[in-house]
Amino acid sequence: MDLRQLRNFIHIVDLSSITAASERLGVAQPALSRQVKALEADLGVELLRRHGRGVTPTKEGIRLARRAQSILDDVDDLAEDLSGTRRAPSGTITLGLPPTVADILATHLVERTMEDYPDVDLRIVSGFSGHVQDWLLRGKIDLGVAYEGQVLPSIRAQPVILERLFLIRPADGDPAPVSCREALSQPLILPNAEHGLRGRVETFARAEAVSLNVVLEIDVLPSMLAFVQRGMGATILPMVSVSRQVRDGRLIACRIERQSMDRTLILMSPLNRPGSRLADMFSAFVIGEVHRLTRSEAWPGTAL
């Protein structure tokens, strides 16, 4: 077992494919396959399971990839310490965000990354929480942000902030605070059942024993808000999604009291692939920037 074999094995696990790793590394596919077989023979365990779409690491393969990544990071640290030169973080990091989070966070993160880490290439993709989880598991992204819900066992989830939910009404509606039960009893315009926000609202409805009256199902936020403005119904959203419309007097946001409604924003990383030093650094960076926006009230209706 040598460092070259470990680096190559990590690439195979990251890409879930010996063929893709061969193309990235410029190493012949048969040579990579022989390296994996040699590792399996040395360790006496199966490291990869082959299938039609590529390869999947076994539990032992995941453990080896994680330990190998830690060893390689230590080797890099040792080289930097001995040479007296500490390299700035560099490389490419791909982050998945849900649409409501991307609206407030994407531009801010890109600008802050360019300022603090000019050698890091940040790529951002947007999709619903379920899509972000799927991308994370398939290695399409390095980190993902989503809202709490049914997080898969193969994903590590770290809570970041708590986001309060408000009852959103037309501008001529009653602005007074409402109870959770009152909010849930309104004729509501909500996204479909696959959307994380809909699942969160339904969780509160079950707890309050309220049957939701969903008059429209719309996944496109501008369309949803347009129908609320027309008086077709109310909706339940975080303040950040409607702050502009509330400020302009086109909608009102009613605080939900007695039992508040909220949801937790989480940062996700994969457990089925080794984490890189860059990903660990960027995780802390993302959390710090979200907390900064919360403290400055640039992300309204949130709490640490």
pTM above 0.75, yes or no: no
Is the distance from CB of 8 to CB of 25 less than 8 angstroms? yes
Cβ neighbours around 62 below 10 Å, total: 19
Query: What is the C-alpha separation between 148 and 168, in angstroms, rounded?
Result: 22
CATH number at residue 157: 3.40.190.290
Same domain, 142 and 208: yes
What is the total count of domains within the chain? 2
Give residue-wise pLDDT tens across range 192-206. Answer: 887 778 888 999 999
Domain extent for 183:
89-304
Query: What is the C-alpha separation between 244 and 167, in angstroms, rounded?
Result: 15
Same domain, 141 and 281: yes
Q: What is the pLDDT of residue 192?
A: 85
Same domain, 137 and 266: yes
The lowest-confidence range among 84-93, 113-122, 214-223, 244-253 is 84-93
Same domain, 161 and 262: yes
Query: What is the C-alpha separation between 288 and 295, in angstroms, rounded?
Result: 11
Same domain, 136 and 255: yes
Beta bridge partners of 269: 156
Same domain, 59 and 98: no
Give residue-wise pLDDT tens across range 72-85. Answer: 877 877 776 666 56
Give residue-wise pLDDT tens across range 93-146. Answer: 999 998 878 888 999 999 999 999 999 999 999 987 778 888 888 888 999 998
Query: What is the C-alpha separation between 11 and 48, in angstroms, rounded?
Result: 13
The lowest-confidence range among 32-36, 102-106, 136-140, 280-284 is 136-140
Is the distance from CB of 274 to CB of 69 less than 8 angstroms? yes
Reply yes or no on whether the pLDDT at 221 is more than 90.
no
Q: What is the mean pLDDT of residues 244-266?
A: 90
Same domain, 118 and 104: yes
Same domain, 48 and 104: no
Amino acid 266 reads: I
Reply yes or no on whether the pLDDT at 275 is more than 80.
no
Same domain, 189 and 297: yes
Same domain, 67 and 123: no
